[in-house]
Structure 1
Amino acid sequence: MVRCGSFAEAARRLGTPPNTLSRRVQQLEAQLGTRLMQRSTRKLSLTSAGQDFHARCAGAVDGLVDAGQALMSGNDVPSGLVRVAAPADFFDLFPMESLAAFLAAHPQVRMDFVLSDARADIIGDRIDVAIRGGVLEDSGLFARKVLDAGRDGLVASPAYLAARGAPARLADLVDHDCLVFTHPSGRADWRLSGPDGEDAEVQVSGRFSGNTAQALRKAALAGLGIALLPSTMTRRELRAGLLIPVLPSFHRKGHGVHLVHASRRHMPSAVSAFIALVADKLGELEERPVTAPGAPA
């Protein structure tokens, strides 16, 4: 209003009724306990108190307006820090080259990865997006599935099966080296659905255990035993003959991979762009070429 010279002109520029502006100024004067403006039907002028108040506030108001405009104009340009929680072996599956290309395409974006098999507290740890497999908790968070659930199946390398033979029945797994997730007992209970749709359970053990599915996959490729792994992790190796199905009529329902975040509203463009990248690249995993062991990369 000071720069416009009148309530009418200020109201026109703001798209607000003049009486609304006048009422707000009166409310401010009442709160401050002093008159800020001298008014007439044609123009207004500042009192000495009004001049002092305007001098102190104008710069801050301009700064606030500029900051808001800069933020709105930058909404379409990915920028800022993106914190990602992912499994410890995430970059064994996700190509680092894709992340490098993403950062090159968005020079104002910074990435911070929290890699752990422990489930991150998205709110408490200030995580923008978490990459999670397995069963999702009903936590009120938002999730986008990027890999279908598929099935978990039993696999082993040709070398292991040539040396130890292929089990003919589920009970035969007791006599095999099975690759299990770390447990003090060194054993695991595998509950599988059979060809008749009925569930069956077998307790297995082996000489190798690990705390990530990628470690078990690599152990299977190295011929250390039979592993129960998601089909999304073994499909390419099965196609290439690096792994062979074991008891293919038995399987365990998988849970897929989700991208989890706190809210869909006002999501920063950098986070949206990263989510699109991960969804695209993880969806390509099964189509990427496979290099056989010992072959040049």
Structure 2
Amino acid sequence: MLDLNDIAMFVQVVRSGSFAEAARRRGMPSNTVSRRIQQLEEQLGTRLLQRSTRKLTLTSAGQDFHERCVSAVDGLLEAGQELMSGSNEPSGLVRVAAPADFFDFFQMEWVSEFLAAHPRVRLDFVLSDTKADLITEQIDVAFRGGPLRDSGYVGRQIVDPGNVGMVASPAYIAARGAPRTLQDLASHDCVVSAQPGGHAVWRLVGPHGAEDVQVAGRFSGNTAQALRKAALAGLGIALLPPVMAALEVEAGTLVPVLPQYRPENFGLNVLYPSRRQLPLSVSAFIGLVIQKMNATDTAPE
């Protein structure tokens, strides 16, 4: 029969990233932790972790086993903590992975409001346009824009895409005119995500459904902020995350281009490692993001 303590130890090792760190957190020798994980692997008849001098890596079997048991372990620990504290109050550290420009559209005042409502919760944000490895980086929840491709994590769209997408500065439109059709974009400068040759394909949804259009320009960048600033400087038409575009349109610094078209799959998605129950602190923060972002009727890339 499997020892639940060994399974909990396995979850701790994955989260800690090493036997030594797991041992430190558990207050026991590192070789004891290593031996118990080895015993668990022998009982299961499969290797869960690949060891190297630099780091531990989950095998495919280890990944699947971790996904299936982590929520149960967390649930038991959370139940014990709630009994000991006599409270169902969210608590603990929540590590959040989000796009680099997350706080350009998610107000810091909302974070302050959340922390005031949940005084036992701490938030640690990991902001990057690089997709985070939730297991390796010990991420509790990740927010991502764009198409939600199969990543091995649990994911769902929590905010629908908005209707504002293509924008340009008033000065650019005054100088070059406004395109009337998607085909007209071929004769315009567009600021695009970095691509070899300066070309990109935008997938848009309009009166005739989804359409692809190839665009090009003399400026490209690898972040939404770079594209926004290029559009503000009059360097061309940009396809921005809807919430970012909507804020600039509202301020009058950018104007909509071909407003009958909207970007496809620019909604906000949430991902988390476990397939089952989320910690109260994580579910509470996801709830805050859903509430605030849906109130804007827009979503980030």
TM-score by length of 1: 0.64
For 1:258 and 1:149, locate their aligned partners in 2 and report how far apart those are by CA, in whole Å: 10
For 2:137 and 2:262, locate their aligned partners in 1 and report how far apart those are by CA, in whole Å: 36
Q: Name which of 233, 242, 261 aligns with 2:244.
A: 233
Shift of 1:152: 6.5
2:173 is paired with a residue whose SS is: helix
Q: In 2 relative to 1, CA 82–197 (structure 1 residues): closer, same or farther, beyond 3 Å?
A: closer
2:228 is paired with a residue whose SS is: helix
| Partners of 2:201 and 2:212 within 8 A in 1 | no
Q: Name which of 234, 246, 254 aligns with 2:257.
A: 246
2:240 is paired with a residue whose SS is: strand
Q: Name which of 108, 111, 117 aligns with 2:129.
A: 117
Shift of 1:281: 1.6
- The aligned runs of 1:72-87 (5 Å cut-off) are 72-74=83-85, 76-87=88-99
Identity of aligned residues (%): 56
Structure 1 residue 127 corresponds to structure 2 residue 128: no
1:188 is paired with a residue whose SS is: strand
Residue type at the aligned position of 2:276: R
For 2:296 and 2:211, locate their aligned partners in 1 and report how far apart those are by CA, in whole Å: 30
Q: Name which of 173, 194, 200 aligns with 1:161.
A: 173
| Partners of 1:151 and 1:231 within 8 A in 2 | yes
Q: In 2 relative to 1, CA 267–72 (structure 1 residues): closer, same or farther, beyond 3 Å?
A: farther
Aligned to 1:258: 269
| Partners of 2:164 and 2:246 within 8 A in 1 | no
Shift of 1:273: 1.4
Shift of 1:249: 4.2
Q: In 2 relative to 1, CA 132–275 (structure 1 residues): closer, same or farther, beyond 3 Å?
A: same
Structure 1 residue 190 corresponds to structure 2 residue 217: no
For 2:295 and 2:229, locate their aligned partners in 1 and report how far apart those are by CA, in whole Å: 20
| Partners of 1:213 and 1:229 within 8 A in 2 | yes
- The aligned runs of 1:50-61 (5 Å cut-off) are none
Q: In 2 relative to 1, CA 172–120 (structure 1 residues): closer, same or farther, beyond 3 Å?
A: same
1:247 is paired with a residue whose SS is: coil
Q: How many residues are aligned here? A: 220
Q: In 2 relative to 1, CA 100–177 (structure 1 residues): closer, same or farther, beyond 3 Å?
A: same
- The aligned runs of 1:1-297 (5 Å cut-off) are 69-74=80-85, 76-150=88-162, 153-192=165-204, 195-197=207-209, 199-206=211-218, 208-263=219-274, 265-286=276-297
User: Any gaps of 5 or more consecutive residues in structure 2?
Assistant: 1-77
Residue type at the aligned position of 1:278: V
Q: In 2 relative to 1, CA 171–158 (structure 1 residues): closer, same or farther, beyond 3 Å?
A: same
After superposition, the CA RMSD in angstroms is 2.8
| Partners of 2:105 and 2:243 within 8 A in 1 | no
Q: In 2 relative to 1, CA 159–101 (structure 1 residues): closer, same or farther, beyond 3 Å?
A: same
For 2:179 and 2:163, locate their aligned partners in 1 and report how far apart those are by CA, in whole Å: 20
Q: Which moved more, 1:261-270 or 1:130-139?
A: 261-270
For 1:198 and 1:280, locate their aligned partners in 2 and report how far apart those are by CA, in whole Å: 28
| Partners of 2:192 and 2:221 within 8 A in 1 | yes
| Partners of 1:168 and 1:247 within 8 A in 2 | yes
Residue type at the aligned position of 2:274: S
| Partners of 1:194 and 1:200 within 8 A in 2 | no
For 2:210 and 2:293, locate their aligned partners in 1 and report how far apart those are by CA, in whole Å: 32
Q: In 2 relative to 1, CA 268–255 (structure 1 residues): closer, same or farther, beyond 3 Å?
A: same
User: Any gaps of 5 or more consecutive residues in structure 1?
Assistant: 1-66, 288-297
1:214 is paired with a residue whose SS is: helix
2:197 is paired with a residue whose SS is: coil
| Partners of 2:190 and 2:215 within 8 A in 1 | no
| Partners of 1:109 and 1:270 within 8 A in 2 | yes
Greater fraction of residues in helix: 2
Shift of 1:129: 0.3
